[in-house]
Amino acid sequence: IPPLDTLIAPRVALLGDAAHGMAPDLGQGGCQAMEDAWVLADAVQHALTEHADTSIALATALTHYDVARVERVGDIVSRARKRAAMIHGLGPEQTHAWYDELAHEDGDAILAGLKKTVVGGPLG
């Protein structure tokens, strides 16, 4: 599915594949589900320490979760789709160029991509 505009409803938060089902080509589906859980738990913990009213705390936590996650996971969903199209031959010239580039890869670009994903996360 295309990236969602929001991952929350008044008393619901979507996490993992429900929030951002993605092609497996970046290996980020499970990683993003764990990030979702961590960000939501952290948001709930902080909101409960700031608000005595649990309804206000829940609304605050859900809003924080949505703001923290929707853009990040949307970007990763889009990147995974582009990689899937490239790897699986939807554009043969692009697929061949990618494989040719891999043949000469020394690992620097791969490490840079991993770093970008990690640093962009909630613990980065």
- Residue pair 85/91 in contact (Cβ under 8 Å)? The answer is yes
Least confident of 40-54, 72-86, 88-102: 88-102
Confidence bin at 121 (pLDDT 50/70/90): confident
CB half-sphere exposure, 2, CA atoms < 13 A: 1
Question: Which of 14-18, 95-99, 100-104, 120-124 has the highest average model confidence (pLDDT)?
Answer: 14-18
Angle formed at CA 115 by CA 109 and CA 117, multiple of 5 degrees: 110
What's the pLDDT score for residue 52?
A: 94
The model's confidence at residue 89, banded by pLDDT at 50, 70 and 90, is confident
Q: Which whole number is the average pLDDT over 35-45?
A: 97
Quick check: 124 pLDDT over 80? no
Name the residue with higher pLDDT: 15 or 100: 15
CA angle 35, 36, 37 (to 5 degrees): 90
Mean pLDDT of the chain: 91
pLDDT of residue 68: 97
Three-state DSSP class for 106?
A: coil
Kindly tell me if the per-residue pLDDT of 60 is higher than 80. Answer: yes
